[in-house]
Chains A and B, each alone.
Chain A
Amino acid sequence: MRSPKAAPAALACLLLLLAGEIRSATTAVSATVASFCVMAVTSSAVSLTVSNPAAPGGVPSNPVGSSSYAQYSSTVASGVTRRITAAWATGNTAPTGCSLLLQASVPSGYGTSAGQITVSTTAQNLVTGIGGCATGTGSTSGAQLVYTLSIGAMTSLVANESKSATITLTLTDS
Chain B
Amino acid sequence: MRNVKIALAVLALGFAVAGLAGAASTATQSLTMQVGTIGVISTTGNPSTLTVAAPASGGATPTSGTSTTTYAQYTSTVPSGQTRKITVAWGASDAAPAGCALRLTATPNGGTNQGASAGTVTMSSTAQDLVTTIKSCATGTGSTSGAQLSYSLDVTDATALVAAATKTATVTLTLTDAA
Contact = CB atoms under 8 A, between A and B. Distances in A.
Contacts of A34: 15, 18-19, 22
A51 B33 CA distance: 11
B146 interface: yes
B29 A44 contact: yes
B38 interface: yes
Interface stretch (B61-69, B96-104, B136-144): B136-144
Interface string B58-91: 0000000000000001110111101000000000
Interface stretch (A4-12, A19-27, A133-141, A149-157): A149-157
B41 interface: yes
- How large, as a class, is the contact surface on chain B? 35 or more
A158 B33 contact: no
B116 to A, nearest CB: 15
A14 interface: no
The A interface, classified by DSSP as helix, strand, loop or mixed, is strand
B36 interface: yes
Interface string B30-55: 11111111101110000000000000
A53 B40 CA distance: 8
Interface string B124-154: 0000000000011111110001100000000
A57 B73 CA distance: 5
Given A53-B38, A155-B135, A158-B80, A168 B33 contact: no
A50 B36 contact: yes
Given A47-B34, A166-B30, A169-B28, A158 B138 contact: no
A149 B32 CA distance: 10
Nearest to B136: A157
B162 interface: no
B178 to A, nearest CB: 13
Contacts of B4: none
A8 B80 CA distance: 112
B38 A172 contact: no
Contact of A170 (B25, B135, B139): B25
A68 B31 CA distance: 11
Given A34-B19, A40-B27, A98 B42 contact: no
Interface of A: 32, 34-41, 43-53, 55-60, 65, 68, 70, 72, 75, 88, 94-98, 100, 145, 147, 149, 154-173
